[in-house]
Amino acid sequence: NKRFAVLTSGGDSCGMNPAIRAFVRASLLRGAKVFAIREGYNGLVTGSIVELDWQSVGGIISRGGTIIGTARSAEFRTREGRKIAVFNLLKNKIDNLLVIGGDGSLTGANILRCEWNSLVKELVDDGKLDQSCLASHPTLNIAGLAGSIDNDMCGTDFTIGADTATKRILEAVDAILSTAVSHQRSFIIEVMGRNCGWLALVSGVSTGADYILVPEIPPEEGWEQSMKENLEKGRLSGRRCSLVIVAEGAIDRQGKPITSNYVKKVLEDAGHDARITILGHVQRGGVPTFLDRYIATRMGMDAAEYFFECKEGSEPVFIGIRGLSTITRLPLMQCVVETQSVGELIKQHKFMEAVKVRGI
Ligand code: F6P
C-alpha cells in the first residue's frame, strides 16, 4: 500500500478543505492510505499525524479554512526539527507529501526533500530507524499546491483562496460605498496581499476605484497630485464618493511603505472627508467560492494522481492551473524562485518585468 500525507501551512485560505478532500478521496479510491499532518509543519515535528478515511473529509467542500490546522513553524526551520520530521514520517512509513501553502511553505518542503537522505542516514546511525529504511524509502516525493489568498505564486493563474478573498473584498466595498455616497465621503480601503498587489488591483477594477496603489508598480513622485486629480474628476462628473484601494504592501519608488494613514492625510489636506477601512482577516474567512472549490478539487485530485505515477527521485512538482481548465505540473523550485524574484526586480526598478513575472 502506498502511503501519502497532506499538510496545510502558512496563512489559511478558502479552498484548502476542498483540496484536502479531493486528494484524500482520489488517493483512497486507488488504494493508498492517507494521513493528515496537523497544524502545518508543527505536526511533523510533534508527530501529530492521523489517518484519514472517506468520511473524515465529508462535508468539508463548503467549509473555509483548513480542518487539519495550519501554522508557521519555527522548529521546522531548524535542521534538528526537520530530522524529527523525517523520523515521524518514516515511523508512519510515509514518503509522499502534499504541501498546501505559500512559497515559504513550499520552500520548506523542498529543503526537507534535499536533506532526506542524509537525515535518514543519521537516524539509522543514531539507532532510531532501521537500516532497511534507506532502501525502502530512498526519497521523499513532494507535490505542492499554492494555498494563499494573495495570488502571488508563479506557475499558476490562481492560488487557492484568492477568488474567495476578492469576493469578500467586493462585498465589503459595496457595503461601504452605500454609506460613503450618503455622506459624500472618500474611503481608503486597505486590502491584504503581503507584497503582492493582485487583490488590490482586481478588486479596485471590479469596484470602480478612483485610485489603486500596488507594490509592483510604485507610483511616480508627485503621485499624490494625480490621485487628488483623479478623485476630483470623479466628483466633477457627479460621483458622490471616492474610493482608493491600497495594497497592504504598497510602496513608493524609494521602497518606503505608502500607508493608508498617509493617503488619508493627503486627502484630508485637500478637503476630503476621508475614512479608512482595513479589511483584515475577513478576507480570509467565510465559505469558498465556486472557483476555489473547483480549482482546489482539480489540483488535489492531480496531486494524488502524481504520487501514483511519479518515479523514485522525481523532482518536487508544483501543481497549478492555466486559465480555468488546464492543470499544470511544473518544477516546484522554479516556481518558488520566480515568485521570490519579484521583490528583487522591484528593488531594481524593473517594474514591468516584475508585473510580467507576477502575471498581473
Ligand atoms: O499570506 C496571506 C496573508 O493573509 C497576507 O495577505 C497577510 O499579510 C498575512 O497572511 C497575514 O498573516 P497573519 O494571519 O499571520 O496575520
pLDDT in tens, 66-97: 999 999 999 999 999 999 999 999 999 999 99
285 lines ligand 1 (CB under 6 A): no
The dihedral region occupied by 203, where left means phi > 0, alpha psi between -120 and 50, and beta the remainder, is alpha
Strand residues in 203-241 grouped as ranges (E): 211-213
Give the atom of ligand 1 at the shortest distance from the alpha carbon of 152.
Answer: 1
**Which residues participate in catalysis according to the annotation?**
150
Q: 9, 14, 192: which to mutate for ligand 1, most atoms within 8 A of CB?
A: 192
At 277 the pLDDT is: 98
The type of residue at 270 is: A
Ligand 1 contacts CB of residue 193 (under 6 A)? yes
Nearest CA to ligand 1 atom 3: 11
Integer angstrom CA distances of residue 179 from 19, 207, 222, 228, 242: 38, 15, 30, 21, 12
Dist. CA 360–CA 304, nearest whole Å: 30
How far is C-alpha 213 from the geometric centre of its chain's CA atoms? 21
pLDDT at 360: 67
Bridge partners, 37 (sequence order): 49
- pLDDT < 50: residue spans in the chain: none
CA distance 315 to 317: 6
In angstroms, what CA-CA distances link 14 with 56, 100, 132, 152, 194? 18, 12, 41, 15, 17
For residue 192 and ligand 1, the question of a CB distance below 6 A is answered with yes
